[in-house]
Structure 1
């Protein structure tokens, strides 16, 4: 008989510690989309995955009590820790990484402000990370891209054949991520993108198939757009 290969232990780190500078001071993570807070929708995509074993949420100190309440209300049983973030995204992810279970083999880093991510996409990205060591959700760029000079004049049109928009989750073998993080700390560099962190350490990252609906909530206008996407997904057309 063939021995069934054991599934790797996967930890998800949900980063929800932004300063809301583009949300007119509103904490976007706690806003509702279809009756469910943004960050909870993000968490639930991982909660519902059979390939994710635990979730660590990184947020602002003042948001921890309310987020604790919401996690209980929506039965997010895989959430093991809710911790305070750092002064930058990289530092916040590091805070989450410090809390993962010792059995963790792969870590999935996801923006708490991407509430529309699909569990199937998360699972596919995990599979690709296991195969390639590192993977992220991404979609092909559809718009025509222009490169400009210092005077804001078009210099050239950039071919979009090999251009992709990066999304999250971004998923890595934990040893690789820790080595890349230590290298960044040693160099004093601070990246806003986790793939950029591991790329700087010499690791190639696989582009896993994303979805255009996996938008990031950045401004107040994104909330009604997300609600429209949700209505379309659930078949509740007006």
Structure 2
């Protein structure tokens, strides 16, 4: 493993930057009260369309692979045609877990992709600045993710009783896209899946290999739409951003 990691971090910096974006869009929308969060309208367009447009406009992203549920294949494919997303190369069915779904997308990336950017389809307000910073940082160090400092005081608890108060100054909320050297994330996700690791993000798979993930500047507007309240906040942020 050490030898492989050594080769990773000493790769040529002048290699062409080709980044495949894998869009995680296979969730169940269980907390959206029976509605499909990716197809709900934000402004006048679906949440997923906003996320795909941001990726489409990023000059460093050369390909987009969408991983979704089987029942979404047709509507998602139709959206891509309706909005003429030229970088979307494939819409595929995901697995039973996020790790399995993202790995399926990573395996479909074009052979020449040097980086893989994994983005939540439910994060419609990601900015070009966030995208470009995290991709360029990942090119330098192999793994990077955008993050913002936590605003609230957090508590650890057991059985409803506080057991600890972590230092807020050292805590960050990690966002997507999380960007990795292609061989690194492929290896990390494969290992995590084989070992049955329960992961909530893709950085965790890389961290399990002992690889550090660099944090870049995130954006508080880059929220994930999970609940009806998130959609209301997203609509307000969208309108505010459009007015700037």
Which TM bucket (shorter chain)?
Answer: over 0.9
Q: Deviations over 1:103-123 (max 9, x none)?
A: 011000000011111122111
- Spell out the pairing of 1:1-238 with structure 2 (5 A cutoff): 5-150=14-159, 152-235=160-243
Distance in 2 between residues matched to 1:53 and 1:10, nearest whole Å:
6
How far is 1:66 from its partner?
1.1
SS at match of 2:200: coil
Tell me the distance in 2 between the aligned counterparts of 1:185 and 1:228: 38
Distance 2:155 2:191 in 1: 34
CA distance in 1, matches of 2:239, 2:95: 35
The runs of 4+ residues in structure 1 deviating greater than 3 Å are: 4-7
C-alpha RMSD of the superposition:
1.4
TM-score, with structure 2 as normaliser? 0.91
The alignment partner of 2:61 has SS state of coil
> TM-score when scaled to structure 1?
0.93
1:174/1:6 CA distance change after superposition, 3 Å: closer
Structure 1, gaps ≥5 residues long = none
Shift of 1:6: 4.5
